[in-house]
């Protein structure tokens, strides 16, 4: 009886440790070839329940145990990085105009709208505020930071969050050229976004083998491109991130197919067969439940 109790305690302890992984540990585990776990990335935070790209949305994701929160960056007139997807603030706030036309003092007086278009009390957060709130709690994926890469890495360094952030890069060039062009830190987690219909897609992907922390994000509006057949092979030596957001990013194997049409195997199941370590979704709760049922998420 005592032996059974000890075994139970050991199993429970292991389960607790797995659930309590830090974001830094989760990032490291992506590169473990023996791990079958797929991490879930919430696109623009918990935007179905809170304003997109908001601190409240970030906090909701942390409470729900979501692995990664994706956010987008823009820069104000006085060079402050704020979290905003569009070039203008028309769609998501109670004001209008380009982010770059306002100072930060002006920007912080505006309020974000929720998914129904109603104005909330949520201000537009700065990148610094988001990283401080995320520190040691959740992985952050930085999108649309390409024009500001030096400033992005300066903030990550200042907030001591470089080791829990994945930074997207879009320059259609080999890895070594990208590093020289932007003077990037060599220990950064970079994710190259690659259009799989491009003739040089596989060459660009291969060049990122030089970065042991690189992540590959293939995007494709059709699932018939020859390079699509190489994704599984690529996954044997590099970490793959796939999107289930909308059809033009995944050849029609998207969230709506999974949830609205209730065809999860044709959507998420199809993506999983290509061996990603990360799936980005607008349905993080549903995707986590699906992955747990497939024993691909803890």
Q: Which residues are catalytic?
A: 43, 85
Identify the sign of the CA torsion 233, 238, 239, 244. negative
Integer Rg of the chain from CA? 20
Q: Which residues contact 129 (CB under 8 A, 6 or more apart)?
A: 55
CA pair distance 62, 74, nearest whole angstrom: 23
* Segments in 40-79 forming alpha helices (H): 55-64
Q: The tokens of 18 are what? A: 């797995």
The distance between the two most distant Cα atoms of the chain, rounded to a whole number of Å, is 71
Residue 239 burial class via C-beta count within 10 angstroms: exposed 0-12, middle 13-18, buried 19 and up: buried
Q: The tokens of 155 are what? A: 């903030």
Identify the sign of the CA torsion 129, 134, 136, 141. negative
At CB < 8 A and 24+ separation, what contacts does 218-222 make?
A: 218/194, 218/242, 219/193, 219/194, 219/195, 219/243, 219/248, 219/249, 219/250, 220/195, 220/196, 220/249, 220/250, 220/251, 221/197, 221/247, 221/248, 221/249, 221/251, 222/197, 222/251, 222/252
Question: Is there a contact between 282 and 255 (Cβ–Cβ < 8 Å)?
Answer: yes
CA pair distance 31, 260, nearest whole angstrom: 33
């Amino acid at each position: 009886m005592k032996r059974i109790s000890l075994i139970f305690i050991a199993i429970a302890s292991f389960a607790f440790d797995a659930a309590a992984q830090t974001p830094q540990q989760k990032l490291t585990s992506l590169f473990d070839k023996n791990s079958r776990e797929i991490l879930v990335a919430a696109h623009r935070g918990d935007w179905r329940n809170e304003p997109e790209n908001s601190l409240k949305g970030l906090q909701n994701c942390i409470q729900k145990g979501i692995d990664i929160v994706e956010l987008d960056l823009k820069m104000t007139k006085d060079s402050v990085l704020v979290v905003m997807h569009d070039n203008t603030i028309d769609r998501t706030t109670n004001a209008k105009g380009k982010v770059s036309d306002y100072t930060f003092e002006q920007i912080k007086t505006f309020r974000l709208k929720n998914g129904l278009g109603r104005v909330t009390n949520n201000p537009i957060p700065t990148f610094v505020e988001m990283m401080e709130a995320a520190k040691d709690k959740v992985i952050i994926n930085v999108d649309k930071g390409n024009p500001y890469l030096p400033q992005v890495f300066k903030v990550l360094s200042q907030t001591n969050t470089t080791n829990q952030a994945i930074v997207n890069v879009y320059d259609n060039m080999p890895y070594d050229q990208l590093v020289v062009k932007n003077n990037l830190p060599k220990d950064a987690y970079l994710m190259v976004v690659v259009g799989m219909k491009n003739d040089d897609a596989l060459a660009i992907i291969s060049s990122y083998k030089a970065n042991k922390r690189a992540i590959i994000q293939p995007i494709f509006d059709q699932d018939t491109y020859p390079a699509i057949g190489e994704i599984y092979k690529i996954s044997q030596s590099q970490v793959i991130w796939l999107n289930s957001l909308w059809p033009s990013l995944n050849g029609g194997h998207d969230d709506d197919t999974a949830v609205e049409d209730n065809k999860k195997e044709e959507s998420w199941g199809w993506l999983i067969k290509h061996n990603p370590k990360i799936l980005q979704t607008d349905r993080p709760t549903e995707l986590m439940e699906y992955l747990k049922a497939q024993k691909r998420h803890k």
